[in-house]
Structure 1
Amino acid sequence: MDFAGAYSTDHLKFLWQGLEVTLLVALISIILSFIIGGAIGTARYARIPIISNILAMLVETIRNLPLLLIIFFTYFGLREVGLKMPVTMSVIVAMTAFQSAMLSEIIRSGLNSIEKGQIEAARSSGLNYIQTLRHIVLPQALRRMVPPIVSQFISLLKDTSLAVVVALPELTHNAQIIYGHKDAYVLPMLMILAFTYFVVNYALSLVAGRLEVKKG
């Protein structure tokens, strides 16, 4: 093992560049999947005829596919039909699609968790369906959904490492390049990868824990 060589300034700078890509891809995917997943989850909760059934079928299909397969599809499969995207964009599309399906279920379940009595009371007081959803259902549901949503975001951040298969220059990919030059770098690189992912994800876990306490 060569810790001194593995953790040279150039190597650490290269790893930092990979971490920046990891965080960028994760952040964009989180924002997009929250918007799309929120729209899908709300639409399914509203039970819009036909649309709700189509969305349910789409969500269940994506949820039951491996994320790795979706990444392969967006990067390699779409190229076969003439839709070529840069590797970063293809990974963002794949992760957004997968996480949107996951988040839509969390959001739908959160909305369904609100007691029917509150909804009936709001409607009887003169609020229409949209007003009831906006002022009564959503504020309470969001508080209940925050911890599982944060947990899903943690999973998303870890799943960015799967993009190494399409050579996205993220953290794991850059670490592989470094230890590919010298066997003595393998363990040091694996250790710093584990430490980095742990620190970032543990910080997010603390956020989820604090939100859970506040919710209680």
Structure 2
Amino acid sequence: MDFIGAYSSGNLLFLLKGLGTTLLVAFIAIIFSFLIGSILGILRYAKIPVLSRIVAVCVEVIRNLPLLLIIFFTFFALPEVGIKLSVTMAAITALIIFESAMLSEIVRSGLNSIEKGQIEAARSSGLTYMQTMQHIILPQALRRMVPPIVSQFISLLKDTSLAVVISLPELLHNAQIVNGKNVNYVIPIFLLIAVMYFLVNYSLSLVARRLEMKERTNRKSTGKVLPAKQQTGEMM
């Protein structure tokens, strides 16, 4: 093992560049998958005739496919129908498709966790369905969804390493290139990238844990959720 040679400035900069690509791809995928997943989750929760059923089928199909297959599809299959994506865009697209389906289930479950009585009370007080969703359901559901959503983002960040199969220049890809220079670099380099992944993911897990504890504290302090009429009165 050659720790000194493996941790040369050139190698470290190359690995940091790969980490930057990993974080960039993950960040873009997180933003768009959250937006799309939220829309899909709300559509399933709303139970719109036909549309909700179509969304449900698409989500279930994607959730039960391996992410690696979706990555292969976006990079190798889409060009066959005239859609050619760069390596980075193919990886981002695959992650967005997969994570949107996963997040939609978290959103739908979060919305379903809100007591039906609150919806009925809000509607009986004169609020429209959209006003009920905006002022009563979504604010409470979002607080409950934050911990599992952050956990899913952690999984997304780790899943970026699967894009090594299409040569995305992310952290694991660059580590393999460094390892190719000298067999004595393998253990030091893999130890280093393990630390990098750990620090990033552990930081996110701490955020998720803190948010979860905060949500539990809020539930204990309030005892129960305020009725819809009281909530709308406070907002006014």
Q: If the TM-score is normalised by the length of the shorter chain, which range does it land in?
A: over 0.9
Distance 1:111 1:81 in 2: 38
Residue 233 of structure 2 corresponds to which residue in structure 1? none
- Partner SS, residue 49 of structure 1: coil
TM-score, normalised via structure 2 length: 0.91
- How far 1:213 moved relative to its partner? 1.4
The residue identity in structure 2 corresponding to 1:131 is: Q
Give a deviation string over 1:67-111, Cα, whole Å, max 9, x none.
Answer: 000000000111122211111001000000000000000000000
Give a deviation string over 1:22-42, Cα, whole Å, max 9, x none.
Answer: 000000000000000000000
Alignment of 1:146-161 (within 5 A): 146-161=146-161
Residue 178 of structure 1 corresponds to which residue in structure 2? 178
- Partner SS, residue 84 of structure 1: coil
1:19 paired with 2:15, answer no
Structure possessing the higher radius of gyration over alpha carbons: 2
Residue 81 of structure 2 corresponds to which residue in structure 1? 81
The residue identity in structure 2 corresponding to 1:205 is: S
Count of paired positions: 216
Distance 1:181 1:74 in 2: 31
1:141 paired with 2:141, answer yes
Distance 1:79 1:125 in 2: 54
- How far 1:214 moved relative to its partner? 1.3
- How far 1:62 moved relative to its partner? 0.3
Distance 2:116 2:80 in 1: 49
- How far 1:159 moved relative to its partner? 0.4
Identical-pair percentage: 69
Residue 57 of structure 1 corresponds to which residue in structure 2? 57
Which runs of at least 4 in structure 1 moved beyond 6 Å after TM superposition? none
Segments of structure 2 that go 5 or more residues without pairing to the other structure are 217-236
- Partner SS, residue 168 of structure 1: coil
Distance 1:72 1:5 in 2: 35
Residue 208 of structure 1 corresponds to which residue in structure 2? 208
- Partner SS, residue 83 of structure 2: coil
- How far 1:146 moved relative to its partner? 0.2
